[in-house]
Structure 1
Amino acid sequence: MGAVSRPSPAVALVTCSEVPHLDDEGQHLLVALRGRGVDARPVVWDDAAVDWAALDLAVVRSTWDYAPRREEFLAWARRASSSSVLLNPLPLLEWSTDKHYLAELEAVGLPVVPSAFVEVGDGESHPYLDVEHVVKPAVSAGSRDTLRLGAHEPDRSRAHVGAVHAGGRSVLVQPYLAAVDEVGETALVFLDGTLSHAMRKAALLPAGGELVEGLFAEEEMTPREPSAAEVEVGLAVMAEVTRRAREAGVAAPLYARVDLLPDDDGAPRVLELELVEPSLFLDHAPGSAERLAEAVLHRLPH
């Protein structure tokens, strides 16, 4: 009797309709997976024709349009996770799509960029009107609806808070940490819980700038060797994420990005924890797409 051939595992790399064939790094991952015998394909998350039960694994990647449609996106994630293995897992998507998680990270002692939340109905003032600061929705991605404002622009700042509130969204306000203009932001990329590589992101928000048009602001990226202090903070954040995943009864994240800024003393602080659709810069870090592909193989249901 001849050997029975098994079908290749079916893995969706989940994207949005604006980039239905994935971005460059998504293509790198697609090639790495197919080279390992995986039936990998890009799938648009809100395509009603997709049979999620026919997939062994759905890996969220370039779903960059989720922020203005968060509830719709999470409803999709619940449906997909009920019939397929969703990565990152649903509880982590629910938690990390709203930047109120920064307050929770700070509450457990992690160094976070100072953050104030202005809820709908609380007015338009905030504690950082008298310093340079950043105003953004608590649910946002790609620097959309985000402004860098000076101490001389309190009226514009309040107006932007009001504009975000008018859409029913909470606001996050943070002081602008000026060291980023020279040092840049450090993005630590973790694949399957292990630090894979790091990138330097040049300062993104111009003083007195306008709102970003399109899905995201273009980023200027270069490889970076993170400092020991940055790695220590990144590992501490990942330990907390893993603890939360365990508490929720789900797997630790397949991928994560911890974005750090230097404070006035040069100490790293967490700006964002990206667990949904972050760029992982696989096209900038040789071998990283292959490492992520191997991690995906290890997550396939047996």
Structure 2
Amino acid sequence: MSEWRPTADFTALGRRAQLLCQIRGFFAARGVLEVETPLLASAPVTDPNIEAVSAQSPSGEGLMYLQTSPEFAMKRLVAAGSGPIYQICKAFRRGERGRRHNPEFTMLEWYRPNMSLDALIDEVVAVVALAVGDADVAQMTYQQVFELHCGLNPHAASLDQLKACAMEHLDLSFDSDDRDLWLQLLMSSVVEPALNPKQISIVYDFPETQAALAKIAVNGDGQRVARRFEAFYAGMELANGYDELRDAGELVRRISDDHSRRAAAGQDLPPIDRYLLKAMAKMPECSGVAIGFDRLAMIACGAERIDEVIAFPLESV
């Protein structure tokens, strides 16, 4: 095949276009406003697991960043009184390339003021069903899936127990004292592949240390957990949703923790989004979620690689 041609065939691109129309119809029927926010931002997320793509400022002075998601700008709209909103847009993450990843990808993200996390999960299931059709749904806590597939309580297990479990299941040649690294490794390499690929799996109540921008709550066992969920289907993570944090002071504390972890790993320390901090004081109670649209398209098309549902991946531009 000529290198100038698209990697996706036109049947896949047609199904992708149809899915976009279905999603817009879904939100229009529910009175959710479609919005657009800038791709360029003065500050990216500080999460050590996400690296933003930097760009020269249009003014020629300093750096800006291509958004890793529209989260910060959309939260400013919600704080300003937009009501429920959604966006379908391009997002960018450095170093992410593989069977399911392209550094430039399409994100579907929406925010629902005064909607419970349970109601948001129902909406996520309905959106995923646009791509997969009717499917069974299973909801489990993070603790339940770890106990089922790893045989340990992720909140109570010691660092040595997490390491031993990982060594039992995986061929590893490194060591670390970062507890979350082992939890994330077990989640991605042991738990996720064990989830039923033919059902929509919702995993919720993540460890407090993996809250990102979600609130913290106390579960029935007295354990502090993140009010956060992820959705999976066909062996892929599709969605990441939060009961959104509204405390600017707590946000600063979490950013400081991110910076400390980044410094220890030799990563760049990105600036803080001062506009988001100011908007926090006006944020209503809100739940929000992001879905990788390209992955939805992969499921809708029965594709094995992201290249089969996007016209021109990284190597083609």
Return the structure number with greater relative CO, CA threshold 8 A, min gap 6.
2
Q: Name the TM tier (shorter chain).
A: under 0.3
Structure with higher helix content = 2
TM-score (norm 1): 0.26
TM-score (norm 2): 0.25
